[in-house]
Structure 1
């Protein structure tokens, strides 16, 4: 059993989040991975519409600016990046990251795109299927469907980690799986291991980014948090036995 924990940083909690805290974690947090959670039902639908209008789009519109800001430091400090900024077009997102790395002179940067979540074509091809919530057939809203996605998990992201990629971009995955995947890849927990519960809770906490480092605590006038607009983001130390410790850069 290893005694040195795996350290995973939270780089974003929503699509438009700040990236200065992520850069701070990369440069000063001594982290192994940093994960940017930037996707929700609304944003993946928005990016699906964007891709419909232009095939080279469909990923997080801030991806380029965010990656330009953090990739050089991540490569310098040996920090690997995982993000669902691929949204409705992970392949195009990965290509954009490759171009950014090339322009920055970061030779040898490996980028992986995780595919398989987009099930829109299957849904459109089966209008006779019914919605579980209402019992109505898909054909009742067939012309209004913008996107359909199946949540991938930490096991799928783990396969991308195994390739040695420095940057991994995904489409729709379960939010905590972004953070759980490095743990599974490092400690080789099985799919029935009870420690998965602890790792999943860790992922749910980190996906909230600044909410964990003062955002949820703040209650102006009762529990004031100085400069809430400048909150640092958290990291988690995860040990092989399932222990987790949440912290932030001092």
Structure 2
């Protein structure tokens, strides 16, 4: 039975680059997919594009492509990625420039646009999923709105000979489903196979997670050589079954357990996983070990695709100011608590205006608060780090929070050190749904 080998070159925007090089060198691939986009990532990219119309794509795009393009060009490995973020066309032009720098010719690069649906939000009665409020009520705080597009336009670009396909907000599994649709000639109405393709994409989309990265838990779930973690390969057969594996000798593990954890990762309902391509059903999936670091997975299915597409809305949510300082030695916790009390009172005395404030002892109660952290006072760490963070309406107010923490150097408890402070604008994410027919992906081509 005919097989296609797809490698996962990245699982998020800042992921490692070396595993993708290893895949291109030793993975015997036909496709290398870089999944680098998250909800907040694209909102930040939209802000960057507003500042500079030539920006808005993934900042690591040039570095990644310099690393892998020579190998992929030589080995005829095609690349699919969502590193276009808010500006796929600019990303395609930048990719062409990188290819020209490397002396590579004969490349056809496709940019898929159409996921930016911001103009439509003011023309309909759309509701925010998280609150039920009208999207229109958010007003001028909205900076971006990107719909999740599916595999169809990506497969179209591959059918038209694209060596590299760059999208914006495509659904993560769709990046992997598109090569399968193209290579095997699967119908866009073959929901059984599209359900399996979505499962394959879901297994691969987070890269090192399925080879043991997110799985590792020392003493319970030990994973070898994580510093050299190998990213996964999907050996996909024409019937839709897949063997998940990795490059021999690379770090990490592929086991039934690593694959099962990834199958369940971020799945709201295993029997009804909504994507732009299909409503996938993972409830009858089987997982079988067929060799060392070789796991066969099959049994997914699906039903007709949803009539609406999810939209991630980026909103301006004010500013956040933060300051941190450390205390060590006997009485470190008491000094840390005193430092927090001082900053709390100082912010009140100086009239710093905040809508939300947190006062944390990192390592004691910063993640789960006093109740869940068992904060009885019995825990006496040798060192603590305090963090004060607040939300404000202006950058100037946010700066004042970190400044007050810094003054603890000479105005607070003894022995404080290692101050850091920051102030930044905050982008929030909300969700809504838009009718499918309003989203019209378009493919643009450049060549070198």
What range describes the TM-score normalised by the shorter chain of this pair? Answer: over 0.9
- CA displacement at 1:107 relative to structure 2: 1.0
The residue number in structure 2 matching 1:163 is: 160
Check if 1:57 corresponds to 2:55.
yes
- Give me the TM-score of the superposition, normalised by structure 1: 0.95
User: For 1:153-186, what per-residue CA distance to the aligned partner results, in whole angstroms no more than 9, with x for missing partners?
Assistant: 1112101111211111100011000001000001
Of stretches 81-90 and 129-138 in structure 1, the one that deviates more from structure 2 is: 129-138
SS state of the match for residue 45, structure 1?
A: helix
Contact 2:128 2:135 in 1 (8 A): no
Contact 2:128 2:134 in 1 (8 A): no
User: For 1:132-165, what per-residue CA distance to the aligned partner results, in whole angstroms no more than 9, with x for missing partners?
Assistant: 5344232211211111011111112101111211
Provide the rounded CA distance (Å) in 1 between the counterparts of 2:63 and 2:240: 35
Q: What is the alpha-carbon root mean square deviation over aligned residues?
A: 1.2
- CA displacement at 1:59 relative to structure 2: 0.5
Of stretches 223-232 and 53-62 in structure 1, the one that deviates more from structure 2 is: 223-232
> Whose strand proportion is higher, 1 or 2?
2
**Residue 177 of structure 1, aligned match among 156, 174, 179:** 174
- CA displacement at 1:76 relative to structure 2: 0.7
Check if 1:32 corresponds to 2:30.
yes
The residue number in structure 1 matching 2:380 is: none
Gap runs ≥5 in structure 1: none
User: For 1:181-232, what per-residue CA distance to the aligned partner results, in whole angstroms no more than 9, with x for missing partners?
Assistant: 0000011111232121111101001001001111243111222222313200
User: How many residue pairs align between the two structures?
Assistant: 246
Provide the rounded CA distance (Å) in 2 between the counterparts of 1:229 and 1:57: 32
Provide the rounded CA distance (Å) in 1 between the counterparts of 2:109 and 2:217: 41
Provide the rounded CA distance (Å) in 1 between the counterparts of 2:149 and 2:139: 24
Of stretches 234-243 and 132-141 in structure 1, the one that deviates more from structure 2 is: 132-141
Report which structure shows greater RCO (CA 8 Å, sep ≥6). Answer: 1
Gap runs ≥5 in structure 2: 249-448
Q: Following superposition of structure 1 onto structure 2, how do residues 1-250 of structure 1 map, counting pairs within 5 Å?
A: 3-123=1-121, 125-126=122-123, 129-133=125-129, 134-193=131-190, 194-250=192-248
User: For 1:26-54, what per-residue CA distance to the aligned partner results, in whole angstroms no more than 9, with x for missing partners?
Assistant: 11110000000000101000100000000
Provide the rounded CA distance (Å) in 2 between the counterparts of 1:223 and 1:54: 46
Of stretches 167-176 and 185-194 in structure 1, the one that deviates more from structure 2 is: 185-194
Of stretches 9-18 and 219-228 in structure 1, the one that deviates more from structure 2 is: 219-228
- CA displacement at 1:118 relative to structure 2: 0.5
